[in-house]
Amino acid sequence: MQDQVERFLAALGGERGFSLNTVSAYRNDLGQFSLYLRDEQPVGSWGELDGERLQRYVLYLHERRYAKSTVARKVAAVKSFCHYLLEEGVLRHDPSSELPSPKVDKFIPRTITPEQVAELMEQPARSRSPEALRDKAMLETLYATGMRVSELMSLDVEDLNLTGGQLRCGRKPDRARWVPLTAEAVSALDAYLQTGRRELRSVIDEPAVFLNHRGSRLTRQGFWLILKGYAESANIGDITPHTIRHSFAAHAVTRGQELRDIQHILGHMSISTTQVYQQVAARISHQNGSAVNPVAACYDTGGAP
């Protein structure tokens, strides 16, 4: 039975192009489901799976007081796997077709204020060490583009066009996009490339933009630790790279930037994913006693994403 789970996961990563993190989440959720079946509702093969067993599994999750969002994710993983088994002919009908997903409260991203962003950027600017120049360039680039931390860490020198004030974001051919940089980001990147990176670099032909103290590509985990340290110094509290991404998008809406442009910069497949930042911007504006730009707030979301 585990072989079919592995083939399903391979299909997610290969044919469907899911990220490693997403495939890993599916692996964990289906692993828990398999253990549940083994210990609570044994089946000899996936072909014996039925709606009653699935219903009992959902009840099992609720009894263990998982958050609604967690239950929804685990149910989605089981449903996707059932669809796969149906396509492969292992199941003759889909036992998950009537399986309800718990309603999840709409997620509202956490952001920090423009003032907190400015204070965060000020932390590495207090030094001219190679690492500080790198950190300033990373933070400015992250806030200027709203890119994911994985995209930030995968940047190569050839992805930068500082003369044109833009960079290429994303590695997949169908997801790669050129996004604009702010003057602050261009300046920080230029200072880092001219001085900091040259001192950190261990080999001339190293392609990575952001390097660690050994001269190789900085990891996501390394960046998280760097960000955490600066956030503590700025008295911002516990933030993540995604907090900066959310802040970029919400602040862009507040400034009146077109939602479609923000969608492109963030790399969202659907405009509906980007629309949540209208709510965040409205909350920010309410707190500040101002109004969100009506053009952005009432943007026509019809048509293809």
**Active-site residue (options: 74, 134, 148, 251):** 148
Question: What's the pLDDT at 273?
Answer: 84
Between CA 251 and CA 55 the distance in angstroms is 43
Residues of the chain short of pLDDT 70, as ranges, are 14-17, 41, 101-107, 172-174, 285-305
Any catalytic annotation for residue 214? no
DSSP string, the chain: -HHHHHHHHHHHHTTS---HHHHHHHHHHHHHHHHHHHHTS--SSGGG--HHHHHHHHHHHHHTT--HHHHHHHHHHHHHHHHHHHHTTS-SS-TTTTPPPPP-PPP------HHHHHHHHHTGGG--SHHHHHHHHHHHHHHHH---HHHHHT-BGGGEETTTTEEEE-SSTTT-EEEE--HHHHHHHHHIIIIIHHHH-SSTT--BSSB-TTSSBPPHHHHHHHHHHHHHHTT--S--HHHHHHHHHHHHHHTT--HHHHHHHHT-SSHHHHHHHHHHHHHHHHHHT----HHHHT----S--
Question: What's the pLDDT at 295?
Answer: 30
> Max CA-CA distance within the chain?
66
Q: Which residues of 137-176 are buried (b: 16+ CB within 10 A; e: fewer)?
A: bbbbbbbbbbbbbebbbbbeeebbeeeeebbbbbeeeeee
Any catalytic annotation for residue 106? no
- Paired with 211 in beta bridges are 217
How many residues would you count in the chain? Answer: 305
Question: What's the pLDDT at 270?
Answer: 82
Any catalytic annotation for residue 228? no
pLDDT in tens, 83-114: 888 888 888 888 888 787 666 556 678 899 99
**Active-site residue (options: 7, 242, 255, 286):** 242
**Active-site residue (options: 74, 197, 245, 251):** 245
Question: What's the pLDDT at 12?
Answer: 81
pLDDT in tens, 26-38: 899 999 988 888 8
**Active-site residue (options: 26, 143, 277, 299):** 277
Any catalytic annotation for residue 16? no
Q: What is the pTM of this model?
A: 0.64
Q: What is the set of domains in the chain, with CATH numbers?
A: 2-87 (1.10.150.130), 114-297 (1.10.443.10)
Any catalytic annotation for residue 286? no
Any catalytic annotation for residue 172? yes
Between CA 29 and CA 14 the distance in angstroms is 19
